[in-house]
Amino acid sequence: MTPISYQTFISDIDTAVDSTLADDSITGSRTCCQDYISCQKLLFQARLGEILYAFEFVDHLDSVQTPLASSIYNFYVLIETTGSNESNDRENVEGFLVDAMKSGLISDGAISKDLNQALSFWRIREGIPEALQKAGVVYEYDLSIPVKKMYDLVEEMRILFS
């Protein structure tokens, strides 16, 4: 069985600063991309400033069942923002995702309607390692490399472990 992978581009940005702020607004979004290049471009175009908290992608393989509703996409991107102005933060996220859809970077997506739904997006992601362990296809790594080279590592690992 070929392993699925998930990568963290950005997570817990400015944790020391964030811990001193009262985050009144947490927004989660799940988007679908056709290729890794689109994931990279989405990250680089995520002009969400200080509210961008996490940006992660998960790739999809036919041999691994995904809990995400639509399995026709090759990549899923989870984005979390935290801020202090809910309506402004939501407007920024929605504007960013609309622009990304218009430009073809994302094919589909959803924005959380509330904190519970935002947390449910992350529960899916957080369940991936456990599900993979049960399937016997776990490999994990923590390293720093240029974003444009990150998925090359995933492909090399698949070759080595297939």
| CA–CA dist 30, 80 (Å, integer) | 9
Q: Is the pLDDT of residue 11 over 60?
A: no
- Provide CATH code, domain 6-161: 3.30.70.2190
- Per DSSP (E only), the strands in 1-51 are 6-11, 25-33
Give the 3-state secondary structure of residue 6.
strand
CB under 8 A, 24+ apart: contacts of 139-143: 139/3, 139/5
How many Cβ atoms are within 10 Å of 124's Cβ, its own excluded? 16
For 78-97, write each residue's pLDDT tens digit.
888 888 888 888 898 999 99
For 27-41, write each residue's pLDDT tens digit.
888 888 888 899 989
- pTM: predicted TM-score of the whole model, two decimal places: 0.70
Question: Which residues, listed in sequence order, are joined to residue 8 by a DSSP beta bridge?
Answer: 56
Q: What are phi and psi of 126, to 5 degrees?
A: -70, -20
For 18-67, write each residue's pLDDT tens digit.
433 445 778 888 888 888 899 989 988 887 888 888 888 877 655 555 54
